[in-house]
Structure 1
Amino acid sequence: MDKPLLIASDVDGTLLSPAETLTDRTIAVVRRAVDGGVPFVLVSGRPPRWMAPIAQPLGLDGYAVCANGAVLYEVGTDTVIAVHGLLEPELLHDAASALDKVLPGCRLAAERINAGAGAADHEMRNFVIEPDYHNPWGDGEGRTSPRAEVLGKPAIKLLISRRGMRSDEMALAAREVLGHAVDVTYSSNSGLIELAAHGVTKATGLAEVAERLGVAGERIIAFGDMPNDLDMLSWAGHGVAMANAHPAVLEIADEVTGPNAEDGVAQVLERWF
């Protein structure tokens, strides 16, 4: 493609190395692109409060798409600009009841946020978890609460953990019982899936950023590695899969770059920057 006018990248498994760090090579090429006037947008399943440690070394202070498209966040001002697709308590309870039948023993967590707030809202308690909820990125975050409290307020996503199962197995079972009431995705195959409002994806979040910045979709390059990146890579003018990507991502990508262990994002961006 021609030199992109906007760069979008997933974070975990894509921009970060397997050690979950930013390499000097990746930092350098992203900074060159930004200094050259090309916006670089982080597009992640992460909540806003997890974005600053990634954005700061890269020199990013603009938009980030968080929670798989549910949240538009401005890094420099620490402001949640927009929230899309809240899951209401009735829907959360219905989904939890259905999931208990096909994923017995599963544990739930809810991510919450308000437009106009900062990344961390201590009064809201952004992340509430059931006892024994397991996070593949490390336990220790979240307020442990009874299930009724986890499901009792609107959420931007519901997370379901099930020890001893793969995420792809869980997603298949969940889709069979939930239908199109919600969208089911995952960004790790370590026994964790996520439910979001139907139609809210990384692609819709990136499209909102592109509209705000006045950039046509065909002039955007996007990088990803997991099923929650599929819509974004298909929507962007040039979708790039990491060599370590899920097979479904490799199948739809316009290009496959090196793995995140070999600076695959930088390998592509160095053509122009």
Structure 2
Amino acid sequence: MTPKLVATDLDGTLVRADGSVSDYTRSVLAALEARGVPVIFVTGRPLRWTEVVFEHVGSLGLAIVSNGALVWDVAAETPRLERAISADLALRVCEVIREAVPGSAFAVETIHGFAMEPHYVRHQLDGEARRAPIEELVDEPLLKLLARHEELPAEDYWAQVEKATGDLVTVTWSSTTALLEISAPGVTKASTLALVCDELGVAAQDVIAFGDMPNDLPMLTWAGTSYAMADAHPSVVACATHLAPSHEDDGVARVLAGVFAL
């Protein structure tokens, strides 16, 4: 059965290492658009990093960002759905993590932008941002709470934080460093994609999904057909039903061209 909807991660999946979308991938996305097949970008990127690819979202005009915390209506430039962490819960989680793993530093993503603690080591793309203690930064609901550690290996840190927080929040990881992405309880790429698909009348079995990192696992498990990229995290390769060529080799586009006989 030919899928009715495409859901794809961006970094390490659809987008090349230099941040570009190749001409070939552009042509495949355009061909799917012409056939009326929706393509939804489902990314851990915050809104401020996703806007650069909005020209490729197609007529559906929706993007799922911040690991499912926000569904953005591109044409209207407005949120369609927000699934945020309450301020009280965010502060409680910070206390739990600090007690369990000393040395943790925090940053926040809201609908209005990014801010971080003074000792948080920022990403090169973050630019200048407000710096203050976490108690001052959490003054509204958060799309994402970020926690990082400069001494622990990434997956060790993930395991310790996940154990400490339990079901208080959803903790995932998609970085090469010990940087964790924390969402409201039950909020994942999959749970938000399911809500969007329900509105569109598309069943999980009719979705083909692509990803490369642990934050993609829920989506790949949920979708009827799933592809891990060739250089994906081992847990993603083990989870997905198929393997796609690397993102550097236009893996998503090449698979779609075959599946839809483009």
The alpha carbon displacement at 1:219 in A equals 1.0
Moved over 6 A (4+): none
Change in CA separation of 1:219 and 1:61 when aligned onto 2, cut-off 3 Å: closer
The question of whether the paired residues in 2 share the 8 Å contact of 1:221 and 1:236 is answered with yes
| 1:157 maps onto 2:156 in alignment | no
Partner of 2:224: 237
How well do the aligned residues superpose, as a CA RMSD in angstroms?
1.7
**What secondary structure is seen at the aligned counterpart in 1 of 2:13?**
helix
Mapped contact 1:27–1:58 kept (Cα < 8 A): no
Q: State the secondary structure of the residue aligned to 1:13.
A: coil
Asked if the contact 2:38–2:58 (Cα under 8 Å) also holds between the matched residues in 1, the reply is: no
More off after superposition, 24-33 vs 147-156: 147-156
Cα distance in 2 between the residues matched to 1:166 and 1:264 = 29
- Where does structure 1 lack aligned partners over 5 or more consecutive residues? 114-124
Shift of 1:57: 4.6
**Whole-angstrom CA distance in 2 between matches of 1:37 and 1:14:** 22
Residue 137 of structure 1 deviates from its aligned partner by 5.3
CA distance in 1, matches of 2:253, 2:145: 33
Q: Could you tell me which residue of structure 2 aligns to residue 95 of structure 1? A: 93
Instruction: Show the counterpart of 1:4.
Output: 3
Instruction: Give me the whole-angstrom Cα distance separating, in 2, the residues matched to 1:165 and 1:20.
Output: 28
Question: The residue matched to 1:241 in structure 2 has which SS?
Answer: strand
Secondary structure in structure 1 of the residue aligned to 2:17: coil
Aligned 8 A contact 1:61 1:76 in 2: no
Range with bigger deviation, 55-64 or 101-110: 55-64
Check if 1:259 corresponds to 2:246: yes
Q: 2:203 is matched with which residue?
A: 216
2:23 corresponding residue in structure 1 = 24
Aligned-partner Cα distance in 2 for 1:183–1:52: 25
TM-score, normalised with respect to structure 1: 0.89
| Mapping of residues 63-82 of structure 1, within 5 Å | 63-82=62-81
- Is the counterpart of residue 181 in structure 1 residue 168 in structure 2? yes
1:129·1:144 contact (CA, 8 Å) conserved in 2?
yes
- Counting only pairs closer than 5 Å after superposition, residues 60-139 of structure 1 correspond to structure 2 as 62-84=61-83, 86-113=84-111, 125-136=112-123, 138-139=125-126
Distance in 2 between residues matched to 1:137 and 1:232, nearest whole Å: 28
Q: Secondary structure at the match of 2:177?
A: coil
Amino acid at match of 2:153: R
TM-score scaled by length of structure 2: 0.93
Q: 2:129 aligns with which of 142, 145, 169?
A: 142
The answer to whether the 8 A contact 1:60-1:75 is kept is: no
How far 1:58 sits from its partner (Å)? 5.8
Please report how far the alpha carbon of residue 233 of structure 1 lies from its aligned counterpart in structure 2 after TM superposition: 0.6
1:270 and 2:226 equivalent? no
C-alpha distance in structure 2 between counterparts of 1:27 and 1:216, whole Å: 26
Following TM superposition, by how much is the alpha carbon of 1:217 offset from its aligned partner in structure 2, in angstroms?
1.5
Amino acid at match of 2:103: G
CA contact (8 A) 1:108 1:150 kept: no
Report the CA distance between 1:59 and its aligned residue: 4.6
Whether 1:201 and 2:185 are equivalent positions in the alignment is: no
The answer to whether the 8 Å contact 2:6/2:40 transfers is yes
Report the AA paired with residue 68 of structure 1: N
CA distance in 1, matches of 2:128, 2:235: 30
